[in-house]
Structure 1
Amino acid sequence: KKGTTMISATPAGPALAVAALPNFIRLTVAFSINHACVTAILNLSVSLLGDNGSYQSGSLYLTYALTALFLSTSLLELMGPRSALLLGAALYCVYILSFPAALLTPDSLPAVGIAVALVGGIIGGFAAGFLWAAQGTYFALNARLYAAEHSLEVQEANTFLASVFAAIFLGIEVLLKVLPEALSPLKNIEFTLVHGANKVSVQNLTVACSYSILAIASVAGLLTIADLRDGQRQVEAAE
């Protein structure tokens, strides 16, 4: 067809031996869990941390803007999409872990609570500044591999994989956003770590810890995806 690109399957090499669709599904599930944990806890930041949550969100958005403007492209070129995805997802875990850390910080140490929130926000903003760019680049590589594997037009592969991504991404996001409601029976239970310390909501701490555990698990999932850059070179050579 005029104006479209058809890629024919090539003799299987080390990278092209990767099954494109299972690899993409692993990417999508892991990325979606990681991102859903971040967006869910970001929406709860003020209710969980009060004023410190506002400071944290402000530092996140500022760092995000600066990273996206000045560092995203260079980082992606330096690391490649897979390594950038892993780094960004791991840094998102640090951001999420700052919530239980801040919740457990005694009220008698307000400066420490603010510092924990700000550091978490800065790290999360840095990750956000390049993570979606890395995902987009990896998506394109995986789509070309899928097109080569099935002798499809690249646009057709893009459309199919985009629909798979959207379904999984939105489904996981909805599921994780209702997690706080599922834990609402814990709402009125509080505890103190040491005598005289501030009370900590069991629901809030459980929510923060649950998102932290899921985010860490998602990084483990991203470790299973292939580095597709060698496969991309083989596909380009076959065009």
Structure 2
Amino acid sequence: MPSTSSLAIDRRSNSSSPSSYQNVETFDDELATQHSNINTRHRRDDQGARRALLNFVLMSILFSANHGCVVSCLGLASARLGSIGAWQSGILYITYTASALLGATYIVKETGARNSLLLGMLLYCFYVACFWVGTLFSDDNISGKRVAAYTGAAIGGIGAGFLWTAQGAYFGQAAEDHASRLQQPVETSTASLAGIFAFFYLAEEVLLRLLSSFLLEFHLASWGSIFGIYTVITVLSTMAISCIYNYPKSGVDTYNTDARLEDHPQSASRFFYKLSSALQLLINDPKMKYMVGLNAVFGFTASFLNSYVNGQVVPVALDDPDSKYIGVLSSWVSAVAAVMSLVFGRLGSKTGKGPILILGALCFFGVVFPFVVQPNASKYGWSMLVIIYSLHGTGRATFEGTLKATFADYFPHEKEGAFANIILQNGLAGAVGYFLTFSLQCDTPSRYCIEYSNGTLHDVLSFELIVIVSAILAIIGYLRASAIHKMELEEERNSDDANQDDNAILLIEERDT
């Protein structure tokens, strides 16, 4: 863009001619009018921003109520159902991952983020209800419990793929709406909204996880009643989600795909892209490959904690065969994550998101490392377990808030595909983790060949090393992705400056003619 001094020089050079002077004045008037129109169109709208924020808060509350019941049941699966629960969780994560890979982006693009949230929450109801149905079978009816558990997990996993892809798209649309009304960078809104969402999401999870421990401790309800309450909450929150604002469908708004779709305008090509945009983004965008580690380490660590620590360590360490303390410890994770998500939301604008994500990976490392040093469950007590669960809560806060805000910043042109990749990477790691917990067996009891509650022997060291290595690779991968993103931003700025210079030259040439 030419400077004002260069325009002034050009204005003086034409002042010898009255007609030229008149053209300059007309040109200046046109620029002033355009500038006034731009200011009018982009005037700060505080009231509209408040409405957008309140709508996002409502979405967060309803979404969190539904998903809080799901994760409460997930945390209890292995403790209440043993190996059936571990396999059930694995099925949930497999269908969750497959859904994100093979159709979630298409559903969200075709039906819109709000309607996809509704569909995903509805399917989630089946997963929670399967726990209630399972309590209707007698303890001897193992096959009945297995069918109910596996069927609910398969249906719920499909819904989870829709739900989290839609949540990411809705989050991105809400952040753009909020930022445009306040005339601030989108990155500022993504950081603040991510913190708000993570707070409600994790705070409600705390309450719902504590519900089971509270009702059992005071003998107010049986497990059947508890799972029945969870089912009712998921159904009511699903019905209410239709009250939130329905943003327009994004259609095919994708990164570096417009040219390909113009070459192949047939509906089949568009259908295929929408169906597989998550996979195409993973293949074609180099940043996505390097972000895999951050998603994978959370999936591995969560499955390690929920399946091995909840199911095998806590009952021995705290003498808790009835799983009464699982709800308390799981709630502590959510409480720590809720508080830290607000802290990270404020810190993100000052320190940037990078240091927070690196801290999260180190926390996940810290969850597993103590069990490498001391694998004997009887050596653990409340103090050490609280530290371990606190580390997981801190790491989880970075995943639920900061990481998702980073994805919104790094992949603004393909929200559905970007957030589907979070599901794909995290879900696949989680599924592998749940299966490894019970699949890595050994023959002779030793320091790392641990006897589970069902009498079988399992190799715990191999899985622990997988988590530790993934934490290290997560940090290295993020640093590389961040470097690529900075280069892309610099190229964008240079391109924008060049375009502005070209436009300014054209305007001056038009004025002179």
Once the two structures are TM-superposed, the CA of residue 10 in structure 1 deviates from its matched residue by 9.3
Preserved CA contact (<8 Å) 2:128 2:227: yes
Q: Partner of 1:193 in structure 2?
A: none
Q: Are 1:216 and 2:235 matched, yes or no?
A: yes
Preserved CA contact (<8 Å) 1:8 1:150: no
Q: Partner of 2:132 in structure 1?
A: 100
Q: Partner of 1:237 in structure 2?
A: none
Q: Partner of 2:143 in structure 1?
A: 111
Q: Partner of 2:246 in structure 1?
A: 227
Preserved CA contact (<8 Å) 1:96 1:211: yes
Q: Tell me the secondary structure at the aligned position of residue 172 of structure 2.
A: helix
Once the two structures are TM-superposed, the CA of residue 23 in structure 1 deviates from its matched residue by 0.7
Once the two structures are TM-superposed, the CA of residue 19 in structure 1 deviates from its matched residue by 2.0
* Matching residue's letter, 1:172: E
Preserved CA contact (<8 Å) 1:18 1:226: no
Q: Partner of 1:53 in structure 2?
A: 85
Q: Partner of 1:21 in structure 2?
A: 53
Q: Tell me the secondary structure at the aligned position of residue 227 of structure 1.
A: coil
1:169-197 deviations in Å (ceiling 9; x for gaps): 2211222111111112365x9xxxxxxxx
CA distance in 2, matches of 1:21, 1:94: 30
Please, which of 70, 77, 87 is the counterpart of residue 38 of structure 1? 70
CA distance in 1, matches of 2:174, 2:81: 39
Aligned CA distance change for structure 1 residues 61 and 230 (closer, same or farther; 3 Å): closer
Q: Partner of 1:173 in structure 2?
A: 205
Listed as ranges, the matches of 1:70-81 within 5 Å are 70-81=102-113
CA distance in 2, matches of 1:184, 1:170: 22
Q: Partner of 1:206 in structure 2?
A: 225
Once the two structures are TM-superposed, the CA of residue 230 in structure 1 deviates from its matched residue by 7.0
Listed as ranges, the matches of 1:134-149 within 5 Å are 134-149=166-181
**Considering only CA atoms, is the larger Rg found in Structure 1 or Structure 2?**
2
Q: Are 1:164 and 2:164 matched, yes or no?
A: no
Preserved CA contact (<8 Å) 2:92 2:153: yes
Aligned CA distance change for structure 1 residues 23 and 175 (closer, same or farther; 3 Å): same
Q: Tell me the secondary structure at the aligned position of residue 222 of structure 2.
A: helix
CA distance in 2, matches of 1:108, 1:170: 36
Preserved CA contact (<8 Å) 1:82 1:226: yes
Listed as ranges, the matches of 1:118-129 within 5 Å are 118-129=150-161
Once the two structures are TM-superposed, the CA of residue 109 in structure 1 deviates from its matched residue by 4.6
Preserved CA contact (<8 Å) 2:107 2:162: yes
Preserved CA contact (<8 Å) 2:69 2:233: yes
CA distance in 2, matches of 1:127, 1:162: 22
5+ long unaligned stretches in structure 1: 1-6, 190-201, 233-239
Preserved CA contact (<8 Å) 2:112 2:249: no
CA distance in 2, matches of 1:79, 1:29: 22
Aligned CA distance change for structure 1 residues 230 and 19 (closer, same or farther; 3 Å): farther
Once the two structures are TM-superposed, the CA of residue 66 in structure 1 deviates from its matched residue by 1.5
Once the two structures are TM-superposed, the CA of residue 141 in structure 1 deviates from its matched residue by 0.8
Q: Which has the higher helix share?
A: 2
Aligned CA distance change for structure 1 residues 8 and 162 (closer, same or farther; 3 Å): farther
Once the two structures are TM-superposed, the CA of residue 218 in structure 1 deviates from its matched residue by 1.5
Preserved CA contact (<8 Å) 1:186 1:203: no
Q: Are 1:131 and 2:150 matched, yes or no?
A: no
* Matching residue's letter, 1:8: H
Q: Partner of 2:343 in structure 1?
A: none
- Identity among equivalent pairs (%): 34
Q: Tell me the secondary structure at the aligned position of residue 44 of structure 1.
A: helix
Once the two structures are TM-superposed, the CA of residue 64 in structure 1 deviates from its matched residue by 1.4
Preserved CA contact (<8 Å) 2:64 2:205: yes
5+ long unaligned stretches in structure 2: 1-40, 252-513
CA distance in 2, matches of 1:173, 1:149: 31
